[in-house]
Amino acid sequence: MEKFTTHTGLVVPLDVANVDTDQIIPKQFLQKTERVGFGVHLFHDSRYLDHSGKEPNPEFVLNKPEYKDTSILLARENFGCGSSREHAPWALEEFGFKVIIAPSFADIFYGNCINIGLLPIKLSEDEIEQLFVQAQGANLTLTVDLGNNNVSFTKDDGTEISFTFELGKFHKYCLEEGVDSVGWTLNKLETIEAFESKMPSWQ
């Protein structure tokens, strides 16, 4: 996993609540045994007018030319609900997103993002609203500073705005260091074996 320290990028606003992982990556694209090839199908049903994905929907925000270089997705509440498919964060990451910002995330999706090094940031409804206002017309370039737990941007009138966010201590450590979480736990095999030796026989 790549290390995450700071990131500055253009924010694309996706003004829809309850975006489920079926919308992020529909089921017909889950039939792969590899870890790549999902980005092109991200938000397929909204992004393309046809079934085969050849005709981009010009109304969909990700297809608007001014957001072409986006790397930060701004979303509404309960982002990533539904299916546990990790293909959803894979698709977002492969498309080029480094950070997802929303007032709330579904639990499984949130964990999946952390596990692949895609940073999910929770902000208050009010802060999210301010970002949505600023992000119209590809007008919001945001800097995410993981070490200091904050995001910052400059408003049109020159005002510096900064919001802080919370992130679990270990989650932050794993993102900052690009920790191989399986390797990390395998270093604790003795502790796991000691636990197993005390388990009841039916378990």
**Euclidean distance between CA atoms 158 and 61, whole angstroms:** 26
Q: Which helix (H) or strand (E) holds 193?
A: helix 189-197
Q: Which is nearer to other proteins, 66 or 192 (CB)?
A: 192
Binding footprint of other proteins on the chain (CB under 8 A): 17-18, 20, 22-23, 26-28, 30-35, 45, 51, 76-78, 81-87, 89, 104-108, 111-112, 115-116, 168-171, 173, 181-183, 185-186, 188-189, 191-192, 195-196, 199-203
Considering Cα of 62, then 66, then 70, then 75, what sign does the dihedral take?
A: negative
CA-wise closest residue to 121 among 55, 77, 165, 69 = 165
Nearest approach in angstroms of CB 58 to other proteins is 18
Q: Which is nearer to other proteins, 34 or 156 (CB)?
A: 34
CA-wise closest residue to 131 among 154, 147, 113 = 154
Q: Which is nearer to other proteins, 34 or 157 (CB)?
A: 34
CA-wise closest residue to 67 among 141, 162, 154, 4 = 141
Q: Which is nearer to other proteins, 35 or 155 (CB)?
A: 35
Nearest approach in angstroms of CB 157 to other proteins is 27
Nearest approach in angstroms of CB 139 to other proteins is 23
Assigned token pair, 58: 């010009």
Nearest approach in angstroms of CB 54 to other proteins is 15
